Amino acid sequence: MKKTVQKIIYVIVIIGCFIYLNQNEIKRFYDHYIDNHKVELKNLSKDEFFQIQFIDVGQGESIFIENNKKYVLVDAGNNKDGNKLVKYFQELGIDSFQYVIGTHAHEDHIGGMDNIIRTFPINHYYMPSPTVDNMTYQGVIKALQDKNIKLETPNIDSTFQVENTKFQILSITDDEEDLNNTSIILKVSYYNTTFLLMSDATEEIERNLLEKDINSDVLKVSHHGSKYSSIAQFINKVHPKYAIIQVGKNNDYYFPHKVTLDKLERIGSKIYRTDLNGTIIITSNGNDLQISTKKTDTNQE
Ligand SMILES: [Zn+2]
């Protein structure tokens, strides 16, 4: 009997070693592959600058992207955040936006958008097609009309470029039943660094994305860390080094949910949250990322 137990232990140890060594082998191959497929960055100009800010707007989202003094804004928090965001961008010296994207027609994403539209010149304004009969949405439409800015609805898989930053629309729908499903999902690539911005995508949308090239260095986690999004297959395939959750302190939805945090921790993602860290700022040199955080007055009452 004792011998049988010993044998079983030997077998388990041998299998364990085999799996461990194989994993190392796979990782070596993967690193080698990545090294050989990195874009050469030798010719990158000294003036190149790329930064993405996940702005702390409490229970809402606002993401600001800058490359060589050209600017893109994805969402603008709640109604109460509009003036604070305008002031924040003015203090940063922003004079106009190349693209402004309202990912979907919920207040925590487009609430402050009318203030942005009325203050800054905007070259392109993107939003999904479903119209909504509430003050927030109508306020955005009125501001666009007053400023003579066209509301554009991009096609799925369409791309645009701002300086050396590439943007791909991975998902957009016209599902009027669930506005979260309409969310404009963006993959942002700056040379060899990638950012996946999931807005309030549901499990259904994440499943649709599994066949696409979603592996990214940074994941802006779906729907403020809700347990109804961030399915395991999706998180595993994106496999982000850094996971960002835009979420308010003591919010009514108990976001972010523990199961989501557990899934991210299990794959070794470092988690940053606006409720704990404030505004999260990531700078890229095309290969490596630097992360800093700061408390901003965009989340003061
Ligand atoms: Zn939201």
Calculate how far, in angstroms, residue 225's C-alpha sits from the geometric centre of ligand 1: 10
pLDDT, one tens digit for every residue, the chain (301 residues): 566 767 766 766 666 555 555 655 555 545 555 544 566 666 677 779 999 999 999 999 999 999 999 999 999 999 999 999 999 999 999 999 999 999 999 999 999 999 999 999 999 999 999 988 899 999 999 999 999 999 999 999 999 999 999 999 999 999 988 999 999 999 999 999 999 999 999 999 999 999 999 999 999 999 999 999 999 999 999 999 999 999 999 899 999 999 999 999 999 999 999 999 999 999 999 999 999 999 988 886 5
Cα separations in angstroms, 32 against 29, 35, 37, 38, 105: 5, 5, 9, 10, 43
Q: What is the 3-state secondary structure (H, E, C) of 181-209?
A: HHCCEEEEEECCEEEEECCCCCHHHHHHH
Cβ atoms of 236 and 217 closer than 8 Å: no
Calculate how far, in angstroms, residue 193's C-alpha sits from the geometric centre of ligand 1: 25
Calculate how far, in angstroms, residue 104's C-alpha sits from the geometric centre of ligand 1: 9
Calculate how far, in angstroms, residue 106's C-alpha sits from the geometric centre of ligand 1: 7
Topology adopted by domain 50-299: Metallo-beta-lactamase; Chain A (3.60.15)
Which chain residues have CB less than 5 Å from ligand 1, an ion? 108, 200
Calculate how far, in angstroms, residue 228's C-alpha sits from the geometric centre of ligand 1: 13
Three-state DSSP state, 172: coil
Question: Which pairing describes strands 63-67 and 50-54: parallel, antiparallel, or unpaired?
Answer: antiparallel
Task: Find all residues with CB under 8 Å of 16, minimum gap 6, and list them.
Answer: none
Calculate how far, in angstroms, residue 254's C-alpha sits from the geometric centre of ligand 1: 13
- 244: phi then psi, degrees, rounded to nearest 5: -110, 130
Q: Cα separation of 225 and 277, whole Å?
A: 15
Calculate how far, in angstroms, residue 184's C-alpha sits from the geometric centre of ligand 1: 12
pTM: 0.86
Calculate how far, in angstroms, residue 111's C-alpha sits from the geometric centre of ligand 1: 11
Calculate how far, in angstroms, residue 261's C-alpha sits from the geometric centre of ligand 1: 17
